[in-house]
Structure 1
Amino acid sequence: MPPKIPWSLLRMTFFTKKDCGLCSTASLNAASWKLAATGNKAQFKTVDIFEPGNEKWHDAYVFDVPVLHLESEQDPSKILKLMHRFTPEEIGAKALELGFGEPPPK
């Protein structure tokens, strides 16, 4: 099995907006997964799509927040996305797809 990528190279970008109930739940799921799975080592950034300077993200996600991007610093061209409702398990599966973590034992 190839060595796993260090958690510190995992970038998580959470796209949100004010007064979004789904966003609150998704944010909690992302934060709890980051703490439990990575020991809080993954990078985490929150982007409010309505803040000035975030027009690109507003145009892309105005009807889709919450959105979570996961990417590796080693290959920033590959971004995996989760949208709307997502669980910590789904976040872990996407991280595994990028080469982070270990597959569950069989």
Structure 2
Amino acid sequence: MLFIRRFHAASALANYAHVNLTLFSKANCGLCDKAKGVLSQVLAEKPYADIGVKIIDIDEPQNKEWWTKYCLDVPVLHIENTKNPGSLSKIFHKLDVDQVKHQVQDSQ
């Protein structure tokens, strides 16, 4: 007996809807601007459109903790699956589209 299961894009959306991206950035940072562009490209693709994204400016006074942690490392991207606590992965400095997609897929 052969079973065939159709794959629907909605399945991927449901999976990625539990992924949150947090980009730690600051003003006057060329790599940060490029990282934002990479995230825009990734999120423009249908399977990734429902991913939650937050951008944190580490120069803001309320983000002192992150400035202390990442002042020399921005941009830093946190990738976390909210259904899997402890699933945090990070990308430092240079982001590229394929790398971000791969990390999102691995977060499942």
Question: Normalization by structure 2: what TM-score?
Answer: 0.82
Consecutive unaligned residues of structure 2, counting only runs of 5 or more, are 1-10
Counterpart residue number, 1:103: none
1:35 matched to 2:76? The reply is: no
2:49 corresponds to which letter in structure 1?
N
Match runs of 1:79-90 below 5 Å: 79-90=88-99
Please provide the CA RMSD for this pair. 1.6
- Aligned equivalents of 1:34, 1:88: Cα separation in 2: 10
1:38 CA displacement: 3.0
Task: Pick the structure with more helix per residue.
Answer: 2
Say whether 1:51 aligns with 2:51: no
Question: Partners of 2:33 and 2:44 in 1: how far apart?
Answer: 17
CA distance in 2, matches of 1:54, 1:48: 7
Looking at structure 2, the residues matched to 37 and 19 of structure 1 have their Cα atoms a distance apart, in angstroms, of 31
Within the alignment, does 1:75 sit opposite 2:98 as a pair? no
Q: Look up the SS of the partner of 1:89 in the other structure.
A: helix
Percent identity between matched residues is 27
Paired residues in the alignment total: 97
**Contact 2:42 2:48 (C-alpha < 8 Å) held by counterparts:** no
Separation in 1, partners of 2:31, 2:46: 22
| Unaligned runs of at least 5 residues, structure 1 | 100-106
Once the two structures are TM-superposed, the CA of residue 76 in structure 1 deviates from its matched residue by 3.1
